[in-house]
Amino acid sequence: MARTARLTENRRRAAGKKMTARNRSRAKSATPVTDAARAAAPPEFATLQEIVLAARRNLSPELWDHLSGGSDSETTLIRNRQALDALALRQRVLVDVSAIDTTTTLLGQTLSIPVFLAPVGAFLGLVHPDGAKTVARAAVARGTTAFVSTAAKPGIEETAAAVSEPLIFQLYVRGDRAWVGDILDRARGAGYRALCVTVDRNFYGRRDRDLVSRVAVREGFGDPRYQAMLDWEEVAWMKERMGVPLILKGIATAEDARLAVEHGAEVVYVSNHGGRQLDHGQGSAEVLSEVVDAVAGRAEVLADGGVQRGTDIVKMLALGARAVGLGKLLGWALAAGGEAGLVRMLELMETEIRTALGLMGVTSLRELGPSWLRSAPPLAAAGATSAFSYFEERRRAEEVRRVVTRRRPGARLRARLV
């Protein structure tokens, strides 16, 4: 019995090695994700870390940077992680946690987990031929929802038609009222159940990594200057025009949270665009409490920013979010394994959430609140991938190996042992 298990384990390891070597050679020619890598059945990822590793291998360096980077000095991006790392979870014991309810609701729709897929635009179409459709299908398959960006490829109609559940339309303003009216009519016609207006992109953040690599992920529609003219009255008009609940994405202060409610927002979405817009802003987890207090139950509150682990979700919920969005992790999972990669990422996220809740002695999300949190000094330097210590160690080891091999061409064999 033990021998059979060992043999199976050895075979599994050998298969894993073969797969790694094959993937590595594919990744070399990747621009940005090779057809071969996409066609290969994604391995059964055991952890989120493996997903991030696979994404790193499959994406070209430029697309990896576009997805994983922030604006300017990336201070806001780093603070998103730092703010989460600066919170510790409390735990109670001897509570029967044999059944845990991870459901929440968003505008009346039940979500099986308190996680949704945040709007990601043109990038999706660059890493997968079905782009936003893949994201929508994975979200619905796991009992949650997806926000579909104006910049989504394929278009908003095709994406909505790919799933049976109505999704949420995210608007970027790229034209005058006639242009906006037209796209809102199209979104309503396609069956979107809510309108999310992103309000933290009136200027396009300066993404230094993209500027250095000369990568321009083109959204390919309209005139972005119209976004800069957006004001509260215009947003209220959009809600009336589309006739569905309004979500304002990119709220980061109590003042704006109050105005959002006054202008008819049913959902206030705390976000700093994953640190891709205003640099030297606060981390989302830092501002969430002031927004929740200002909203005072008059609207639902969503949040995103640096969220990459089940414990991050639990912290955001304890701070008062109803559900939490994933941006970069969504992109990594798509690059790692297409639709199956996304589904697996959501499964692993659910497992992490359940494990955290079980170990905390919590049986329902409704029990969560600020009393479950304490501030704590963060341990490691925060960054885009700092939630994944194994990934970071592997990357460092690979870097050392590369440097050693480059310096002494004959040292390839020995370098493998480093």
Ligand X SMILES: Cc1cc2nc3c(=O)[nH]c(=O)nc-3n(C[C@H](O)[C@H](O)[C@H](O)COP(=O)(O)O)c2cc1C
Residues with catalytic roles: 273
Say if CB 346 and CB 138 are below 8 A apart. Answer: yes
Q: Which of 305, 310, 320, 337 binds ligand X (CB under 6 A)?
A: 305
Tokens matching residue 340: 């199956």
Q: Which residues inside 23-52 make contact with ligand X, applying CB under 6 A?
A: none
| Of residues 102 and 150, the one with the C-beta less far from ligand X | 150
Q: Identify the H or E element spanning 209.
A: helix 208-213
Instruction: Give min distance, CB of 201 to ligand X, in A.
Output: 7
Q: Residue 215: which of 203, 207, 223, 204 has the closest Cα?
A: 207
Q: Which residues inside 80-139 make contact with ligand X, applying CB under 6 A?
A: 80, 118-121, 123
Total interface residues for ligand X by CB under 6 A: 24
How far is Cα 222 from Cα 65, in angstroms, rounded to an integer? 25
According to the binding rule CB under 6 A, does residue 159 interact with ligand X?
A: no
Residue found by looking up tokens 């959430």 in the block: 353
Instruction: Give min distance, CB of 373 to ligand X, in A.
Output: 20
| Of residues 34 and 385, the one with the C-beta less far from ligand X | 385
Q: DSSP states of 306-332 as a string?
A: S--SHHHHHHHHHTT-SEEEESHHHHH
Tokens matching residue 54: 């696979």
Q: Which residues inside 356-415 make contact with ligand X, applying CB under 6 A?
A: none
According to the binding rule CB under 6 A, does residue 57 interact with ligand X?
A: no
According to the binding rule CB under 6 A, does residue 273 interact with ligand X?
A: yes
Let me know how long the chain is: 418
- Which residues, including other chains, have CB under 8 Å from residue 273's CB and lie 6 or more apart? 198, 200, 201, 205, 250
According to the binding rule CB under 6 A, does residue 306 interact with ligand X?
A: yes
According to the binding rule CB under 6 A, does residue 163 interact with ligand X?
A: no
Phi then psi for 373, rounded to 5 degrees?
A: -115, 150
Q: Which of 131, 327, 337, 338 binds ligand X (CB under 6 A)?
A: 327
Residue found by looking up tokens 């894993």 in the block: 16
| Of residues 45 and 116, the one with the C-beta less far from ligand X | 116
Residues that bind ligand X (CB under 6 A): 67, 80, 118-121, 123, 149, 151, 170, 198, 249, 271, 273-274, 304-307, 325-328, 331
